[in-house]
Amino acid sequence: MSGIQLNKNLKIAIEASLKAGEVIMQVYDTAFDVEIKDDKSPLTEADKKANDIINTFLKPTPIPIISEENRQIDYAVRRHWETCWIVDPVDGTKEFIKRNGEFTVNIALIRNGKPELGVIYVPASKTLYFADVLERQAFKTKLNSHNTSIDEVLQHAIKLQTKKGTNQVEVVGSRSHMSQETLDFIESLKASGKEVSIVSKGSSLKFCLVAEGNADIYPRFAPTMEWDTAAGQAICNAAGVDVISEETKQPLLYNKENLLNPWFVVSNR
């Protein structure tokens, strides 16, 4: 697929994610320490090192950055931003600590509250997802090395295809937490006559499962932050999959005053 024309900022985000993936795996292969942040979530050296590397790529773009590991900027300033990067240097830190490989680097470009570009890199398997929403193009590439050129990334890129609707509904559930509301949602699908099976995945890989046709629906009735979902939504939207707020029944929006997301459902139906 080397005929793909890549947006300049998407190239930068891909390069940043690969370099971040490299340092994440260096930490992964050592006996690392785990800190607990004020919000009770875990933090490792990988989060900090990956964030520093991503910042070195994104800061020269002059587009401001919202990152889980950067100091959060006041909404009085942010509300004037037309575009911004939204970054999670290690999404799925719990999965990283468990060493199950299901953690990702998430980088998204947001314009007027909507995801425009997205990159999700899975360092443990060297799998890269990237998307341009305006071009309606989402791709997946398997790499041999974190030090891969953009040309090589594009050479092996496969366009994502969503699943065709059948009576068999594959629902993405979380490895770490399945809420009662999610269980109720699954029961309601069964009650409508659907055959339901559960697919488990950690981190933003849950979005990728729907975007690449390995699942139909991902209901998320538990807290997430904007950096957990922005890149995944970009990839889903580019592949033709909706990410709809349970509160507004409209697509999730970004750079909000409160960076906490409402509950949402990712669905290709």
**C-alpha angle 100-106-110 in degrees, rounded to nearest 5:** 160
Q: Which amino acid is at 151?
A: D
Q: Give the model's pLDDT for residue 180.
A: 87
Contacts of 188 (CB under 8 A, 6+ apart): none
- Residue whose C-alpha is closest to residue 206's, from 197, 218, 194: 218
Is residue 3's pLDDT more than 80? no
Q: What structural domains and CATH numbers belong to the chain? A: 8-159 (3.30.540.10), 168-267 (3.40.190.80)
Q: Give the model's pLDDT for residue 81.
A: 98
Q: Which amino acid is at 264?
A: F
Phi/psi of residue 242, nearest 5 degrees: -90, 145
Helix (H) or strand (E) holding 264: strand 264-267
Average pLDDT value for residue range 54-78: 95
Rounded to whole angstroms, how far apart are CA atoms 10 and 110? 12
Q: Taking the mean position of all CA atoms in its chain, how far away is CA 67?
A: 13
pLDDT level of residue 55 (50, 70, 90 thresholds): very high
Contact status, residue 6 vs residue 119, Cβ threshold 8 Å: no
Q: Give the model's pLDDT for residue 103.
A: 94
Q: Give the model's pLDDT for residue 250.
A: 97
Question: Inter-axis angle of helices 45-58 and 8-28, to 10 degrees?
Answer: 160
Q: Can you spell out the DSSP letters for 138-173?
A: EEEEE-S-SS--HHHHHHT-EE--PPPP-SEEEEEE
